[in-house]
Amino acid sequence: MAGTSAHNAPPGPKARRPVGDTGGMSDTRPPSALTIAGSDSGGAAGLEADLRTFLTCGVHGLVAVTAVTVQNTLGVHDRSDIPPHIVAGQIEAVAADMGVDAAKTGMLASAGIIEAVAEACERAGIGGAAGIPFVVDPVAASMHGHPLFDHAGLDALRRFLLPMATILTPNLDEVRLLTGIEVTRRSQMRDAAVALRELGPTYVLVKSGHLTDDPECVDLLFDGTVFTELPGPRHDTPHTHGAGDAMASALTSGLARGMSVQDAARFGKWYVSNAVRHSYPMGAKVGPVSAFWRVAEEPED
Ligand SMILES: Nc1ncnc2c1ncn2[C@@H]1O[C@H](COP(=O)(O)OP(=O)(O)OP(=O)(O)O)[C@@H](O)[C@H]1O
Ligand SMILES: Cc1ncc(CO)c(N)n1
């Protein structure tokens, strides 16, 4: 495990509040981030990944559970969706009492849940032009190809959630589902970003993990005018389960800590690149990305 060093210090300007900063006083509230996501029993993706990332990025994690999946490295074997009013209730309860500095979505399971999430977020002041930063990760399927919502879900996502998003973070399968654009080369990511932004989000971040022939792993951020490449090496490992969730939740953590969207996106890319670099085998197939690299080392004695 690596501690903090020049090598793994985050790039770009410093966040307003450093990791774990509570002002040194027990009555000072740390930044908080809300994940609206499903549970992965394998602990690699879903809300488990998000909470772990929030913690290691110095942010208190809040949760609205959307579904429980029966999942391991072989696939998603079963699931039970949470009733939409319970999902909305979780969002409203934590927003009203504890306060949300940034929010993100993961698996949203159904059109009914998506509509309830959009309404609850609107009531809580999450998303929209002047609202609390809202990261929409349009998780459509698990990495094994198991759908995590259906066509009605896709329509509801377009209709209710994309116009509220501060930033949309699709992988290349989700780009195809949302726009019909097939991205097979890095140069095609710009057209995809333009088409995605027309669906309503303020920023778009197109993730490049699936371009496996590309020797680098360069994500693309677009704000409607400027394209910003987020460069990084492509680490040679089969174990990338949860990379998308780690990227989106680190980005959300950056926003909760007061970073600009540009800086939070760079922070997210830096975080996930290290998480993939330290990923590990576990189970029969694709193992999880790591958060251990970010955990403080224990004292010698
Ligand atoms: N082999 C790799 N080396 C370095 N970074 C990677 C690698 N694979 C993915 N990433 C990074 O991880 C993030 C997630 O990318 P990807 O396109 O795989 O998303 P995803 O398909 O949503 O992820 P998941 O595997 O969780 O479903 C991106 O920031 C991407 O740049
Ligand atoms: C619960 C859950 N959320 C998201 C993903 C996608 O990584 C997954 N496999 N499982």
Ligand 1: does its nearest atom lie under 6 Å from the Cβ of 273?
Answer: yes
> What pTM did the predictor assign?
0.92
Q: Could you tell me if residue 19 is inside a domain?
A: no
CA 62–ligand 2 middle distance (angstroms): 17
Domain count, the chain: 1
Is the distance from CB of 76 to CB of 104 less than 8 angstroms?
Answer: no
- The 10s digit of each residue's pLDDT in 102-148 is 999 999 999 999 999 999 999 999 999 889 999 999 998 887 778 88
Residue nearest ligand 1's atom 21 by CA = 171
Looking up residue 53, the CATH number of its domain turns out to be 3.40.1190.20
How much distance in Å is there from the Cα of 242 to the middle of ligand 1?
8
ipTM exceeds 0.90: yes
DSSP letter at 147 equals B
For ligand 1, whether the C-beta of 209 sits within 6 Å is yes
Please report whether residue 228 resides in a domain: yes
Is 2 part of a structural domain of the chain?
A: no
Q: Domain span at residue 203? A: 32-293
Report the atom number in ligand 2 closest to the C-alpha of 38. Answer: 1
Q: Is position 266 within any domain? A: yes
Q: What is the pLDDT of residues 55-95, one digit of tens each?
A: 999 999 999 999 999 999 999 999 999 999 999 999 999 99
CB 150 within 8 A of CB 245: no
Domain contains 299: no
